[in-house]
Amino acid sequence: MAQEKQIIEVPDFLTVRELADLMEASPIEVMKELISNGIMASINQQIDYDTAAIVLDGLGYDARPLTAPESEVAEDADDLPPWRRLYAGEDPSKLIRRPPVVTVLGHVDHGKTSLLDAIRQAHVQEGEAGGITQHIGAYQVKLGDNLITFLDTPGHEAFTAMRSRGAQGADIAVLVVAADDGVMPTTREALAHIRAAHVPVVVALNKIDKSNANPEFVKQQLADVGLSSDEWGGDTLVVPVSAKTQTGIDDLLEAILLVAEEIDIRANPDHSAAGTVLEGRVHANRGSIATLLVQNGTLHTGDVVVAGQAQGRIKGMFDEFGKQVTEAEPSRPVIVMGLDEPPHAGDLFEVVKSVKEARAITANRRDAAAAAVSRPVQTYTLEEIFSRFQAGDAKELRLIIKVDVNGSLEPVVNSVESAATKDLTVRVLHADVGEITENDVNLASASNAIILGFNVEADSAALRVAESTGVDIRTYSVIYKLIEDVELALTGMLDPVYADRTVGVAEVRRVIRVPRVGAIAGCYVLEGVVRRNAKTRVVRIGQTLAEGVGVSSLKRFEEDVREVRKDFECGIGLDGFHDFEEGDRIEFYVRERVN
């Protein structure tokens, strides 16, 4: 009889150290389990109940919510502002308001870069170094007595990539929409990424100076995607601007400050610093440098910092003017020198007590990351939804839906949303027309979502990223089958599906006839890895000659081997198939559970 797991009561939020104390285990064990689930966390970082439950399950425990007093109303971690999710354990009396951190997203031709340039030119005062001398990926602007930090990122792909690494990034998102072009597919895609991050949005209605601008029509399009203008009685601030003539720039900044005041962004400047890495690189003269965005506490020259798998003592800090500074308060971006290697964008950083502690943390992170590479990619599948719900690890089924035509979109979305149960809800993060793309997979990966396609396929880039990140993509040609699978997943009755996955392809370059054995194919491996334990199919000029054939022999020179990788030659013998010709392709595949 299996031994029952020990039950541990877990609060809504706790630090990694506190979770380790509850289990009477080492914090390093907890950090390794977090890394194996794709979460980089330090000893003193706050994690929520759902994350703690995953760690406990992996270490052989069951999690149970710590019952709160009846007078307290529990807040869902997903509904908290980003700064609250990062630093939920702070003493409220020590928190002060900090400048909002803003990211600007939108369609590629709608003037996002021009708008950022216009804001910078109008509101960044020249520093002692003679203006902005270097690009650091972020800068601060001033309106009256208020500061705003803008992230100069390349788009919603980077925004989501940072979120998938655990970074909270921006507090507010500005969605740029051209008044002459309106809402485009990329606009809807960017909005889906913003909503998945639970970040409030301000719309910058750009290019109002153009003769063919139609602001009222675009406002109607925005309302159709759930962004109803405040002028129409909605709750979204839609600000007409022109990056070209710099019209409405102050109005946009005031709208940002208004939203910031409403969500009440705070930090504790007296705390040891923590925040997000915006960029890491090697400088020819300065060595490893990183752009850090301080989100809590104050960073000082001489502090010892751990950033992902990088660590070191800060030898120098510079602002966006290239001017050396000795400290950086909350919401301030700075370039720092002194780390032993460049950290990755999206890594979280924090100040620790000593270089010795920093080295121990990064060494354990490297070990845990190396161990995680050898493990199978963990997939968040439709079949697992009900079991995760029962374990307390899931409260909702998050979906991204792609269909072939507009007429199918609303029926599919309405049908899957109506499949929700009393306890397990369905949340559609993004729904649009078109094939499944890499951006859809990135959004799903960062949000633990599943992608459903109706009469569409995933492109090759999307399939490649989905395989590496463990995103579940399911495609359907019959709508009732799609809806049925969602309903079965919500009731725990969905059967697993298996499919063949090609792992390697070899081309026959020479045919060797062996007496009493048959033909051996002298091959060159074109793609992937050819494996002894895989099944094969033989393809000649697009026609399959044999399928499901086992491998009787696999040799490198005279040596029997288990596998041969791309760009190497080998000899291949197949069970019962000897009709090889030069130019034939032998495809090696394995059968595995795909969802």
Contact 398/450 with Cβ under 8 angstroms? yes
Q: Is 147 left (phi over 0), alpha (psi -120 to 50) or beta?
A: beta
State whether the Cα torsion 528-467-104-335 is positive or negative.
negative
Please report which confidence band the pLDDT of residue 72 belongs to, taking 50, 70 and 90 as the band edges: very low
Please report which confidence band the pLDDT of residue 2 belongs to, taking 50, 70 and 90 as the band edges: very low
| pLDDT, position 240 | 93
Q: What type of residue is 38?
A: G
Nearest Cα neighbor of 288 from 268, 262, 315, 266 is: 315
Tell me the C-alpha distance between 49 and 57, whole Å. Answer: 12
Q: Which of 46-50, 174-178, 211-215, 333-337 has the lowest mean pLDDT?
A: 46-50
Number of Cβ within a 10 Å radius of residue 562? 9
| pLDDT, position 20 | 83
Please report which confidence band the pLDDT of residue 69 belongs to, taking 50, 70 and 90 as the band edges: very low
- Domains of the chain with bracketed CATH: 6-79 (no CATH), 99-264 (3.40.50.300), 274-373 (2.40.30.10), 385-496 (3.40.50.10050), 500-593 (2.40.30.10)
| pLDDT, position 509 | 94
| pLDDT, position 339 | 92
Nearest Cα neighbor of 475 from 498, 450, 452 is: 452
pLDDT of residue 87 exceeding 60, the answer is no
| pLDDT, position 580 | 93
Contact 506/530 with Cβ under 8 angstroms? yes
Q: Where are the beta strands (DSSP E) in 25-183?
A: 46-48, 61-65, 96-97, 101-106, 138-143, 146-151, 172-178
Please report which confidence band the pLDDT of residue 497 belongs to, taking 50, 70 and 90 as the band edges: low
The better pLDDT of the pair 48, 571 is held by: 571
* Contact partners, residue 455, CB within 8 Å, separation at least 6: 403, 404, 405, 408, 476, 477
Q: Name the residue with tokens 């389990």.
A: 33
| pLDDT, position 571 | 94
Please report which confidence band the pLDDT of residue 540 belongs to, taking 50, 70 and 90 as the band edges: very high
Strands 333-339 and 396-403 come out as unpaired
| For residues 190-217, average pLDDT | 88
Taking only the tens place, the pLDDT of each residue in 91-146 is 677 788 899 999 888 877 777 788 888 888 766 644 433 333 345 678 888 888 88
pTM over 0.85: no
